[in-house]
Amino acid sequence: MSFAYAAARPVLRDVDLIVRPGEFVMLVGASGGGKTTLLKLARGFISPTRGSILVLGRNPAPRRSAWGVRRLDPRVAYIPQQLGLVRSMTAIENVLAGALGRIQGLGAIFRSVSEQDRREALALLDDLRIAHKAEEKVALLSGGERQRVAIARALMQRPQLILADEFISQLDPATGADILASMQRAARSGTALLASTHNIEIVARYADRVVLLSRGVKTLDCAANQAPVDQLTDAMRE
Ligand SMILES: Nc1ncnc2c1ncn2[C@@H]1O[C@H](COP(=O)(O)OP(=O)(O)O)[C@@H](O)[C@H]1O
Ligand SMILES: [Mg+2]
C-alpha cells in the first residue's frame, strides 16, 4: 500500500502491515515518517493511492447510510493526537459517547443512555483512576486526566481495534503505567492496538511488536522484546 498527499511526493511507500487480534503493535519513527498518515489510512479518513487496506475484513473508508450519513466502522476506536474530546462536556459524558459509537445509524440517535451504560463508564473511569472527576467538564481537566478520559471513551466503544496517535508519548512516566496497563488488558481480551509513539522505552515494556517507519518506508517489523534498541534510537533522531 502506498499513499501520497501530492502526486510527486509519496508519504508511504509499499508499506505492508498486519495487526492480529489481541496484538499490541507500536508504530515508531522520526517525525514526518508517516505514522499519523498510516493511522488515518487505517481509520478510513484517507485512502491509499496504490494498493489497499483491510481493517477487520473490510475497506475502512466511510460508508454512506440510506440517509446519506457517512459512517466509520464502529468496531474501530480512533484516538487522535489531540484526543478529540468534547471540552464542554463532562468526563463521563465523553465516555458515554463511546457507547453510542457502538451502534449503527439511527439507533444511536434514538437510544438513550442506560443506567448500565453509566455504571460501565464509571467502572472504566475508576480503572483509570479518574472516577472522582467523572462530573467535571473536560475543559477543566489536566492533560494527563484528559488522556485517561480518552482511553476510557475508546474502551467504552468495546472496539476490536484501537488506533492511537502519539497519545502514549505524552504520558508522564509516573501516571502513564496504569493507562498502558489498561490498554494491555484490552489487548489480552482480544482488542488489537496500533499506537504510534516516540517513546522507545515503552515499546519494550508494553508492546508485542514494533514497526519502524523511516521516511515512509517500513524498515523494521519485529517482536518488541527483540527490537534492536540502537537502530530504533538512531531512527528516532533522523
Ligand atoms: N495534510 C497533508 N498534506 C500534505 N502533506 C502532509 C499532510 N499531512 C502530512 N503531510 C506530510 O506527510 C509526511 C508524513 O507526515 P505524518 O504522517 O504526519 O508523519 P509522522 O506522524 O510520522 O510525524 C510529512 O512529510 C508531512 O509533511
Ligand atoms: Mg504524527
* CATH 3.40.50.300 domain residues, the chain: 1-65+159-238
56-108: per-residue pLDDT in tens? Answer: 999 999 988 777 778 889 999 999 999 999 999 999 999 998 887 676 545 55
Closest ligand 1 atom, residue 39 Cα: 17
Ligand 2 is a single-atom ion; what residues have CB below 5 A from it?
35-36
Kindly identify the ligand whose nearest atom is closest to the C-alpha of 212. 1
If one residue of 37, 79, 166, 236 were mutated to test the ligand 1 pocket, choosing by the most ligand atoms within 8 A of its CB, it would be 37
φ, ψ of residue 58 in degrees (nearest 5): -145, 165
| Nearest alpha carbon to residue 70 among 44, 51, 48 | 44
pLDDT at 203: 85
Where does ligand 1 bind, in terms of residues with CB under 6 Å? Answer: 5, 11, 29, 31-37
If one residue of 15, 27, 36, 167 were mutated to test the ligand 1 pocket, choosing by the most ligand atoms within 8 A of its CB, it would be 36
135-183: per-residue pLDDT in tens? Answer: 999 999 998 899 999 999 999 999 999 999 987 766 776 667 888 888 8
Cell numbers for 55, please give them. 481493517
Averaged confidence pLDDT in the chain? 89
Specify whether domain 1-65+159-238 bears CATH 3.40.190.290: no
